């Protein structure tokens, strides 16, 4: 049986490109998105690779949605072997006292609670089958206070600790857990987030950022090779050590 991956936030950007990269590896795919129509064409495209692909409605901030999404994945595709927690938002952007509290909380819910919900649901299945791979999309913003990004930085910092906690709790198993920092990537979320000139990152040119297909191929490599040396750690795509592991030359980026 072909392995199956769940990708949250799979409609565009890194999520969609990761789906394409995993499909090339023969992985069946559950595309967890709020609006399944938003990635119907992507699912059709992926199926042409000879794999099964489903677009499943799921708002990761709702636990019942996540529970039902994982249940549907297993009923339709037979199993879950890989979880890529890609769903994320940057908003609200602004000084802490100027941000909307509800929007700030939703940022934490999408970036952190959503990942907890999906991990909570797949871990029992991973333990039962004896293996599994979890990749949490991280960022350097998790470790650097950036003016105006309090919700995003705080949520991603929490996600980094969730990665470490999950790895600690599965340390006696063949379950792999990684935090993956894709570096600066030209996605719709990034372009929208950088419209507000609030910190040093917003002064950068998004046209110079990586295409999402580049880090997506690295995510697929992590899923395929499952290196124990990166277990529970934050892997940064552009770091020379990781580039060497991939077989790339960092100077060519």
Query: Over the stretch 129-174, which tens digit does the pLDDT of each residue have?
Result: 999 999 999 999 999 999 999 999 999 999 999 999 999 999 999 9
Q: Is 152 a catalytic residue?
A: yes
- pLDDT score of 155: 98
Helix, strand, coil shares of the chain, percent, nearest 5, are: 50, 15, 30
Least confident among 106-110, 120-124, 230-234, 238-242: 238-242
Cβ atoms of 160 and 234 within 8 Å: the answer is yes
Under 8 Å CB-to-CB from 130, ≥6 apart: which residues? 173, 174
- pLDDT score of 249: 58
Q: Work out the mean pLDDT of the chain and round it to a whole number.
A: 95
Q: Kindly tell me if the per-residue pLDDT of 223 is higher than 90.
A: yes
- pLDDT score of 124: 98
Candidate list 116, 117, 152, 178, residue with the active-site label: 152
How many angstroms separate the CA atoms of 132 and 177, rounded?
9
Pick the closest to residue 155 from 187, 113, 184, 211 (CA basis): 113
Matching residue, tokens 């934050």? 234
Q: Kindly tell me if the per-residue pLDDT of 84 is higher than 70.
A: yes
How many angstroms separate the CA atoms of 62 and 118, rounded?
10
Mean pLDDT (whole number) for 104-131:
98
Can you identify the CATH homologous superfamily of domain 4-183+211-245?
NAD(P)-binding Rossmann-like Domain (3.40.50.720)
Strand ranges (E), 147-253: 174-181, 234-236
State both tokens at 65.
Answer: 């949605």
Please report which confidence band the pLDDT of residue 4 belongs to, taking 50, 70 and 90 as the band edges.
Answer: very high
State both tokens at 128.
Answer: 């039962």
Q: Kindly tell me if the per-residue pLDDT of 71 is higher than 80.
A: yes
Please report which confidence band the pLDDT of residue 253 belongs to, taking 50, 70 and 90 as the band edges.
Answer: very low
Maximum CA extent, the chain:
52
Query: Over the stretch 174-221, which tens digit does the pLDDT of each residue have?
Result: 999 999 999 988 888 888 888 888 999 888 888 889 999 999 999 999
How many angstroms separate the CA atoms of 56 and 105, rounded?
25
- pLDDT score of 127: 98
Share of the chain above pLDDT 90, in %: 87
């Amino acid at each position: 049986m072909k392995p199956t991956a769940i990708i949250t936030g799979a409609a565009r950007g890194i999520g969609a490109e990761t789906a394409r990269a995993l499909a090339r590896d023969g992985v069946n795919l559950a595309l967890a998105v709020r609006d399944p129509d938003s990635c119907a064409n992507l699912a059709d495209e992926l199926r042409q690779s000879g794999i099964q692909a489903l677009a499943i409605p799921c708002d990761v901030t709702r636990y019942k949605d996540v529970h039902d999404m994982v249940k549907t994945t297993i009923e339709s595709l037979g199993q879950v072997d890989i979880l890529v927690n890609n769903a994320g938002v940057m908003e609200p952007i602004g000084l802490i006292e100027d941000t909307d509290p509800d929007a700030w909380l939703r940022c934490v819910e999408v970036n952190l609670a959503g990942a907890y919900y999906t991990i909570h649901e797949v871990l029992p299945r991973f333990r039962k089958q004896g293996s599994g791979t979890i990749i949490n999309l991280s960022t350097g913003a998790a470790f650097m206070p950036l003016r105006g990004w309090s919700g995003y930085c705080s949520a991603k910092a929490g996600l980094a600790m969730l990665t470490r906690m999950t790895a600690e709790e599965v340390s006696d198993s063949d379950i792999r857990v990684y935090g993956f920092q894709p570096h600066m990537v030209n996605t719709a979320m990034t372009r929208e987030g950088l419209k507000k000139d609030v910190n040093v990152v917003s002064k950068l040119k998004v046209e110079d950022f990586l295409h999402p297909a580049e880090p997506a191929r690295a995510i697929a490599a992590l899923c395929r090779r499952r290196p124990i040396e990166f277990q529970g750690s934050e892997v940064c795509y552009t770091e020379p050590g990781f580039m060497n592991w991939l077989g790339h030359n960092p100077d060519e980026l």
